């Protein structure tokens, strides 16, 4: 699937995770990320206000490409699409979630951590998966080993990615993009210091651009 999200991830291989308790905060975090150059934003369905947060980011941050993360069920996938999600991410592989997204012609990135899960994803016709939790599930050596078998699969490592290991995670050719919460830490958000988020996004973008030029 060649979508606008995937075109953007080819240029900026970063997915920033946003978790907020209210829509206003989600919007401010997203504006800061976009100002820092990171526009693919995954709003996590982990708070009561998550769908409101997603809808608000879609409406009020038009330069963001907002999707939904932590999508655990088909019902949540439907709700996320109704809120305007432009992509769907799950921590694990659930065919019902994949089906909902595909019927809506929306990119879906289910999480895999093992060869068995990857084989199921491959046999569902998926070309890109989240690799989660990346640092615990074997990190870069695991991605290299899995991609030597699943030669066309592209990975989005997420879980334990940070500014200090981002360049290494982006290095294997099978890595399509990296996702994570390191650009959106809770502490500056509590303080209302959204410039810190912007700086973290800018730093991640610089690392990613250097890594991709190597």
Both tokens assigned to 146: 């899995």
Let me know how many helices (H) and strands (E) the chain has, helices first.
10, 9
With respect to ligand 3PG, which residue has the nearer C-beta, 71 or 126?
71
Among 4, 6, 42, 187, the active-site one is 42
181 near ligand 3PG, judged by CB under 6 A: yes
172 near ligand 3PG, judged by CB under 6 A: no
Phi, psi (deg, nearest 5) at residue 180: 170, 170
87, 131, 132, 176: residue in contact with ligand 3PG (rule CB under 6 A): 132
Both tokens assigned to 113: 């951590």
69 near ligand 3PG, judged by CB under 6 A: yes
Q: How far is CA 187 from CA 69, 70, 83, 99, 183, in A?
A: 21, 21, 27, 37, 11
Distance CA 25, CA 169 (A): 29
36, 110, 139, 159: residue in contact with ligand 3PG (rule CB under 6 A): 159
Q: How far is the CB of 204 from ligand 3PG (least distance, A)?
A: 12
Tell which residue, 62, 35, 24, has the closest CA to residue 200: 35
Among 127, 130, 198, 206, the active-site one is 130
- Interface residues with ligand 3PG (CB under 6 A) are 17, 44, 69-70, 132, 158-161, 179-182
Tell me the catalytic residues. 42, 130
């Amino acid at each position: 699937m060649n979508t606008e999200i995937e075109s953007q991830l080819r240029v900026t291989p970063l997915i920033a995770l946003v978790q907020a308790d209210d829509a206003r905060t989600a919007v401010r975090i997203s504006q800061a990320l976009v100002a820092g150059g990171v526009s693919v934003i995954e709003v996590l369905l982990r708070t009561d206000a998550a769908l409101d947060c997603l809808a608000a980011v879609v409406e009020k941050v038009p330069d963001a490409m907002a999707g939904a993360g932590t999508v655990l069920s088909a019902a949540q996938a439907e709700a996320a699409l109704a809120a305007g999600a432009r992509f769907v991410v799950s921590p694990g592989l659930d065919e019902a979630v994949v089906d909902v997204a595909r019927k809506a012609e929306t990119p879906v990135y289910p999480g895999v951590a093992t060869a068995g899960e990857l084989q199921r994803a491959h046999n569902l016709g998926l070309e890109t998966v989240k690799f989660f939790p990346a640092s615990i599930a074997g990190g870069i050596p695991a991605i290299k080993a899995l991609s030597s078998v699943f030669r066309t699969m592209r990975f989005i490592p997420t879980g334990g990615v940070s500014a200090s290991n981002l360049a290494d995670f982006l290095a294997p050719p099978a890595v399509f993009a990296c996702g994570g919460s390191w650009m959106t830490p809770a502490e500056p958000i509590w303080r209302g210091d959204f410039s810190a988020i912007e700086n973290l996004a800018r730093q991640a973008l610089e690392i990613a651009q250097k890594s991709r030029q190597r």
